[in-house]
Amino acid sequence: MNLAELRLFFFPEGGTTQIESFPIGIGDEGTDTPLGSFQVVEKIVDPYWHVPKSIRRQRPQLPSVVAPGPGNPLGRHALRLSRQDILIHGTNRPYGIGRRSSHGCLRLYPADMAALFVKVQKGMGVRIVNQPVKLGIKDGRVFIEFHRQKRDTTGVGEILHVMADRNLLHRIDMGKLVRAYYQNSGYPVEITWTDRK
């Protein structure tokens, strides 16, 4: 998962099929989704939601446990991670996808969660990162992709250091890089230097 991109990427074992990508909802400010490497420890169909005490303090009208069904915010499928307080799950509130809307869990559209659920195996690794800048090279051309949010502090100087470490500075057009940085488009933009003879 890349929190900055609000996307989950599924890499099939063995590399025999194409990588899949799903939009996600992530932890809101103050209840941030944790970064790190985890494992799937449990697959749950029709999960019960054991409402955390922190949420019940905010919303005391909630019961301590919500049974499976349309009122359950976990949806029909859930994957429990090795950090026990974090789930990857469906939702009954699809408007929260593509936003900071959870108390740390990762939400998917119900159909996406159902599709992912059948592909994931217990013990599979899960890596959660916050990578607002992605850099790549294809056919000798340099591309950059920005997913900066208001609180991200990655600046052009830091990006130039990364490019220097990868010996790419001589291959990029600084004007294209700066435009891509400020446009913050969320898709790959070519920044290769082209000779203007």
Catalytic residues, which ones? 89, 105
Q: Which of 158, 155, 174, 163 is nearest to 136 (CA)?
A: 163
State how far the Cα of 169 lies from the Cα of 157, in Å rounded to an integer.
Answer: 12
Element (H, E) at 157: helix 156-165
Cα–Cα distance, 116 to 79 (Å, whole number): 10
Instruction: Using CA atoms of 4, 8, 13, 16 in order, give the dihedral in degrees to the nearest 10.
Output: -100
Whether residue 127 contacts residue 55, with contact meaning beta carbons closer than 8 Å, is answered with no
Kindly tell me the sign of the dihedral angle through the C-alpha atoms of 53, 58, 61, 62: negative
Radius of gyration from C-alpha coordinates of the chain: 20
- Please report where in the chains the tokens 């009954």 appear, as a residue: 92
Do 170 and 176 contact (CB within 8 A), yes or no?
no
